[in-house]
Amino acid sequence: MAQSKNNSANKRAKPKTQTKRNTQTKKKVTKRDSVRGRMEMTLIILSIIGTVFLGLAGYLISANHKSASVWFLFASLVTYSLLACLYLQDYIWKEDTKVAQQRTIETVQPNPTVVETERAYIGVKDLVLVEPLAVGKYPIVGTVFINGGKTPASDFATIYNAILSEEKCSEIKKTQALPDERIEGSAFIVAGAEKSGIFHATGLVITKQRLKNIESGKLKFYIFGKAFYKDFQGNEQIFPFFAEYQTFNGRFKECRD
């Protein structure tokens, strides 16, 4: 019980600790920006002084005042050396500021790449006739969905439709619509798990002529639909599927044309 209380306290304290760290980071960045502002002014002044010393050294050399020109030349070299050191420090601070700002952003905003790789991904593992097509009966299709992602999928639901047609599936996709009613709207699928379902194509009662045309390949039997689910962030994802019945094995194959 004591361990449980400690864990709860740690969980409550963690957001406050993170917020405190973010505030401290922002204060450090603000203070460093203020110092950098004064440093940039110093860099400008030193640049002017170094240029003046160098100009005077050149003038004195041309005027044959070699001893005096040496001192001004030495002063300009010292000034430019100091200037180089300050430029280097300014560059380092700029890079540190970028890193600190990036860390602050990353603690507030989720990385979209991580979200996409870690979320649930639902797909169709198998589509098969539960019973062979028979005259006077409607087709019953068994479906197996699988979560191929790394986190659970919640509120899983499906919509199905089926059609018999002589047209290619590319044409069917343009004209056929799906019903509004979803099936199994509360299912939960953990990562790597499967979810089975049954679809009764009650509107497609098989007649003798239909069965003959399906077996000859003149008439195609399509099943299509969508799977709806929510990822670990509560965002709804949609997986569409479209498949054509294969007479030689009683299964459906993904239709892409």
pLDDT at 185: 64
**CB neighbourhood size of 255 (10 A):** 19
pLDDT at 18: 43
SS3 158: strand
SS3 109: coil
Amino acid type, 47: S
Q: Give residue-wise pLDDT tens across range 5-14.
A: 444 444 444 4
**Bridge partner residues of 144 (DSSP):** 126, 196
Question: 228, 156 in Cβ contact below 8 A?
Answer: yes
pLDDT at 151: 92
Q: Give residue-wise pLDDT tens across range 108-143.
A: 445 566 566 789 999 999 999 999 999 999 999 999
Phi, psi of 138 (to 5 degrees): -100, 155
39 secondary structure, DSSP code: H
Q: How far apart are CA 75 and CA 68, in angstroms?
A: 11
Share of the chain above pLDDT 70, in %: 71
pLDDT at 89: 74
Q: Give residue-wise pLDDT tens across range 174-184.
A: 887 777 677 76
Reference 224, options 164, 159, 145; nearest CA is: 159
Amino acid type, 207: T
Question: 126, 195 in Cβ contact below 8 A?
Answer: no
Rounded to two decimals, what is the model's pTM? 0.54
Reference 195, options 244, 157, 151; nearest CA is: 157
SS3 66: helix
pLDDT tens digits, the chain, 257 residues: what are they? 434 444 444 444 444 444 444 455 445 545 555 655 676 777 778 778 878 777 777 777 777 766 766 776 777 777 777 777 777 777 776 666 565 545 443 444 455 665 667 899 999 999 999 999 999 999 999 999 999 999 999 999 999 999 999 998 888 888 877 776 777 666 789 999 999 989 999 999 999 999 999 999 999 999 999 999 999 889 999 999 999 999 888 899 988 76
**In CATH, what number does 118-254 get?**
2.60.40.10
How would DSSP label each residue in 185-223? EEEEE-TT-EEEEEEE-TT-PPPHHHHHHHHHTSSEEEE
